[in-house]
Structure 1
């Protein structure tokens, strides 16, 4: 398309940015009308039937202009991002690839590795799956063919991160084996090793951006038992609205073998007792 002069500006929306830029350079093309982009939004499903009108709304959309990218081309890309109601983020292409390896590509492989443990697991064990395993394995449902393309374009940074994860796994396995020891000193050492890993996880998790990309906030959970029937969620949100409480986030944990579930309403700490009292008054079953 660039050789044909088909347009004033050209962009891609690939999940990696350094590779496409280097390929264009190798082809001897003028990069003035080109800009690499990556809308950081997606789903585990693909194709037209999985499309949603608000897919990009409020999501980061990375732009990786080169030194040769014309200002007009950057402005056109920014206009597209604005029309999709996304948030523009300008980055260097290689820095972007290292970043997505950390926050997207490596986690996807780890999710797949955890999900793979379920493939031949005993059915009785699988039936005990709760929200934790669902959260960890959700993205493992994505199309492997698409991910082969993504990982083939960014293998180095992903392999480096997985090597670090492998080191942590080895240390954690060693610590857990020590907890099996009859020697009290070894058990103490093992417990310290496991605790250190868990605390590192705590520290890392607090760096994940919160609502609207702001600093993460500590919310209180008001857990409510609901029946799996039409209108239940609408009722509970309406009751929260009557109580003047804003629901910051929500999760649903489905009960095994029952047509019911536990909805976790995350609210500001000072609003939790207000919401709990209001929902009890309206007949909801609150769980602690």
Structure 2
């Protein structure tokens, strides 16, 4: 079979995901047509260069349905009924329910394949979209029982054009996986953040980067996440039930540490230590950049002023030294109009980076 060459696409839904897909395709010279029931979102996406709001005059190569999971089946049925594309996919974060809806609505499942790019942001809407949102990210593809090979190849071309890494799996397997790595963690972050809602201001003022990292995803749109969790409720509930059991064991361990009986106290220490050790082990399994194996980095910490352009200057100075910054973490410096930047670099590069930054006036901590 000849290689797929995508020349045209239709994106239905111009929120964060749909507009980001459209921007990525436009950057690769694909003609993109946009549709949305919200005329303002549609105009915004078009004004950003994501494509044209005009309907296609001929059948496009691929239609991308970028709407919440409960709406995918109906939108897919509508687009297929109009015969707007040769092949169809979606970018919803849950896959089994949309696939079941598509079958129930008698969609042409031979020319449809589910999709889920593992990327996003805490805020929604077209203005948050970026052409590079999917660079190096995993993009799950979930064929139906009769998905055509050409449809699969077209979806693979979409993933490639967006700079992502494809992973093909069954819809149900995907949903169990994202319940573990995305949906249940979002609930846990929300539960922790919820404890801050009525806490004293002085208490909240003690929050550091650890709490900010843990609760960052709780900033996301609750309405969007209600749709996501509703579509994957059983899998998420199962995981949270297991987590609840683990949490109960941790509570028992902590209570035991306060006991006067030495055997109970040592048993509590063993329970708590086991959880912490296994947590560290699990954290180490999370892949590094672009889906690679976890990497070990060394860290250089410098003071950064509270002026525009300082972070860009830091990156530029590191680049002049020939050192690639792999990751950064920032925190405010107590009592100063400044912050601390923890710069992660490959092992062996801390010495030349320190030397270069000191020569350019950076203060190391």
Contact 1:63–1:89, Cα closer than 8 Å, also in 2: yes
Choose which of 327, 339, 346 in structure 2 pairs with 1:261. Answer: 339
**Are residues 1:89 and 2:167 paired?**
yes
Q: Name whichever of 50-59 and 195-204 sits farther off.
A: 50-59
How large is the RMSD of aligned CA atoms in angstroms? 1.6
TM-aligned CA distance change 1:180 to 1:85, over 3 Å: same
Where in structure 2 are the equivalents of 1:214-229 lying within 5 Å?
214-229=292-307
Summarize deviations over 1:201-259 as a string: whole Å, max 9, x none.
01101110012211111111111112111232233223323333221111111234431
Summarize deviations over 1:42-90 as a string: whole Å, max 9, x none.
1110011211121122211111112211122222222222222222211
Offset of 1:181 from its aligned partner? Answer: 1.6
Tell me which residue corresponds to 1:207: 285
Choose which of 75, 95, 99 in structure 2 pairs with 1:21. Answer: 99
Mapped to 2, the partners of 1:11 and 1:244 lie a distance apart of: 42
Q: Name whichever of 75-84 and 55-64 sits farther off.
A: 75-84
Summarize deviations over 1:72-114 as a string: whole Å, max 9, x none.
2222222222222222211111111111111110000000001
TM-aligned CA distance change 1:6 to 1:278, over 3 Å: closer
Summarize deviations over 1:108-138 as a string: whole Å, max 9, x none.
0000001001101111111111110111001
Mapped to 2, the partners of 1:52 and 1:112 lie a distance apart of: 26
Mapped to 2, the partners of 1:241 and 1:82 lie a distance apart of: 28
Summarize deviations over 1:175-196 as a string: whole Å, max 9, x none.
1111112222222221111110
Where in structure 2 are the equivalents of 1:1-288 lying within 5 Å?
1=78, 2-287=80-365
Paired residues, what number?
287
For the residue of structure 1 that corresponds to 2:85, the secondary structure is coil
Contact 2:136–2:289, Cα closer than 8 Å, also in 1: no
Mapped to 2, the partners of 1:195 and 1:207 lie a distance apart of: 19
TM-score, normalization: structure 1? 0.94
Mapped to 2, the partners of 1:24 and 1:246 lie a distance apart of: 46
Mapped to 2, the partners of 1:242 and 1:17 lie a distance apart of: 45
Runs of 4 or more above 4 Å deviation: none
Mapped to 1, the partners of 2:106 and 2:320 lie a distance apart of: 64
TM-aligned CA distance change 1:230 to 1:7, over 3 Å: closer
TM-score, normalization: structure 2? 0.75
Contact 2:115–2:141, Cα closer than 8 Å, also in 1: yes
Contact 1:97–1:154, Cα closer than 8 Å, also in 2: yes
Mapped to 1, the partners of 2:289 and 2:360 lie a distance apart of: 29
TM-aligned CA distance change 1:177 to 1:69, over 3 Å: same
Contact 2:138–2:291, Cα closer than 8 Å, also in 1: no
Offset of 1:19 from its aligned partner? Answer: 0.8
